[in-house]
């Protein structure tokens, strides 16, 4: 949130407050070793490296919970992770 382009960019204290407010509506998704291994295996198979690991972990949490949609401002970051994830991606 602090690195988004204007006018979406917010200051760190604003981001903290917004995330704190959101937590009343969100349910944490605990990931175990197997989940991380699946995300790593996915990236290895696709020959992807670097910060995409964060996207792969988010996608793994979405797969684990069986959500219908993964909503993002960066659809291209997720659709490259495979057809199963691309099918969930919705760009806002």
Domain housing 40: 31-91
User: Measured at the alpha carbon of residue 16, what is the angle toward residues 30 and 3, in degrees to the nearest 5?
Assistant: 95
The separation between the first and the last C-alpha atoms of the chain, rounded to the nearest angstrom, is 15
Confidence at residue 84, expressed as pLDDT on a 0 to 100 scale: 96
Shared domain check, 83 and 38: yes
Instruction: Specify whether 38 is located in the same domain as 18.
Output: no
Residues contacting 90, CB < 8 A, separation 6+: 69, 70, 71, 72, 75
Residues 41 and 10 both lie in one domain: no
Q: Tell whether 47 and 4 lie within a shared domain.
A: no
> Does the model's pTM come out above 0.85?
no
- Read off the pLDDT of residues 6-15 as tens digits, 9 standing for 90 and up: 888 999 999 9
Same domain, yes or no, for 1 and 39? no
Give the contacts of 19 (CB within 8 A, at least 6 positions apart): 1
Count of structural domains within the chain: 2
């Amino acid at each position: 949130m602090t690195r988004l382009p204007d006018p979406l960019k917010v200051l760190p204290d604003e981001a903290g407050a917004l995330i704190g407010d959101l937590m009343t509506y969100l349910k944490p998704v605990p990931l175990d070793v197997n989940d991380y291994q699946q995300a790593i295996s996915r990236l290895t198979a696709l020959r992807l490296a670097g910060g995409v690991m964060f996207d792969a972990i988010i996608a793994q949490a979405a797969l684990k919970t069986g959500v219908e949609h993964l909503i993002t401002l960066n659809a291209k970051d997720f659709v490259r992770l495979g057809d199963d994830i691309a099918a969930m991606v919705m760009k806002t």
